[in-house]
Structure 1
Amino acid sequence: MAWLILVLSGSLEAVWAAALHRTTQASGRRRIAPAVVFLISVLASTGGLAVAMQSIPTGTAYAVWVGVGVVLTSAYAMIAKVEPATRGRILLLGGIVACVAGLKLVV
């Protein structure tokens, strides 16, 4: 159960990063809805990490949380055309996925 909570919390990390990206308009004004999504998802994400760390070693839990978050955030950025989807970038993100899966196997 702790692993499921950890992966969901990592997914919420991508949600809050995307919401943070959307909080400011081109005119410089702040948007309220993305700011609320940011606050709720960052609290749920770190809360889930704290719960998962009760059963999973701290270093492993943090690495998985960040790994899931960075891969999903990067995927979002590539789909939204904020970052280019180059072969090298996709290959390196695949390496992160492999390393995160490897951490699950050795714990």
Structure 2
Amino acid sequence: MALANRYLTLQRDVHSGEVLARGGDPEAHSILQRTGFVPVVRVHEHYHRLPTGLDEAEEERLATRAVARLSAVRYHVACDEAFETELREAQYPPRRLRRPPGRTHPPGDQHRGSRRRAD
């Protein structure tokens, strides 16, 4: 993974007033979306923004939470002072599917090469 993808900016746009997040890799995009950011994909750019209609306190809460989540998994986030936090939210690994005892492969999956076709 490229080190450049571990850097993001999360700031309030001076022209529109929207809270925007730029940069990152697919993991960062996933974290942003789970925090409430909406992906914006245009021809020459890809970024995330908070939904419209939120009050300023809610925007700051969501942006601060995004900074905490991204920092917890070692992303460098350049953000506005209002969004800075020392808080690091706990990260949990994804749940794995539990297989019944004695089963070593997913149901319906045949071992490759275990059956030979009679010619």
Instruction: Report the TM-score when normalising by structure 2.
Output: 0.27
Structure with more contact order per residue of length (Cα contacts < 8 Å, sep ≥ 6): 1
- Bigger proportion of residues as strand: 2
Instruction: Report the TM-score when normalising by structure 1.
Output: 0.29
Higher gyration radius (CA): 2
